Amino acid sequence: MKLRLLPAVLGMLGLAVSLPAHAETPPAPVSVHRVVFELNTDNPAAWNGVLNNLQNTQKRFGVDNTELELVAHGPGIGIMLKSNQAQAARMESLSKQHITFAACHNTMEAKHIRNEDLLPFVTVVPSGVGEVILKQEAGWVYIKAGF
């Protein structure tokens, strides 16, 4: 009742206000959950954690209802390397479930990493941070992994 009087009172003072028709509208259901995970730490425990997060997110919403991408840059690039045998098989399995693994080209150049050094299912993006920005601008949810 008090909120209905507010426009009238403000109008008498020469001020204008508009109130929404409904106090709160629940968000529309999402048909596809798009999530980008950013990883920039050289910590195998954190790597295992982010793989758990990817797997659990997909388990919660379903393979057909998710688009998931792990972007690695800086020290996190190690998760994408062929020399990372600890997570390679698990990552390959997840890639077959439509989870994208993206390595930062800027980091690759700085660390002298060649495309041949990456696991075969890894894609290369020009900039890891740039990829995260583009995904967020496109409405993807952002998750910072591996603190």
Q: Express each pLDDT in 5-17 by its tens digit.
A: 555 554 555 555 5
What per-residue confidence (pLDDT) applies to 73? 98
Total structural domains within the chain: 1
The number of C-alpha atoms within 13 Å of 114 and in the hemisphere containing its C-beta is: 2
Report residue 88 as tokens.
């390679």
Q: What is the mean pLDDT of the chain?
A: 88
Residue 139: inside a domain, yes or no?
yes
Distance CA 87, CA 82 (A): 10
Residue 19: inside a domain, yes or no?
no
Give me the CATH number covering residue 129.
3.40.1260.10
- Residues 33, 141 contacting (CB under 8 angstroms): yes
pLDDT digits (tens, 9 = 90+) for 46-96: 999 999 999 999 999 999 999 999 999 999 999 999 999 999 999 999 999
Mutual angle of helices 44-61 and 85-95, in 10-degree steps: 20
Residue 17: inside a domain, yes or no?
no
Domain that holds residue 51: 25-145
What per-residue confidence (pLDDT) applies to 1? 47
pLDDT digits (tens, 9 = 90+) for 58-68: 999 999 999 99
Distance CA 8, CA 22 (A): 18
- Residues 80, 101 contacting (CB under 8 angstroms): yes
**What is the pTM for the complete model shown?**
0.80
Residue 11: inside a domain, yes or no?
no
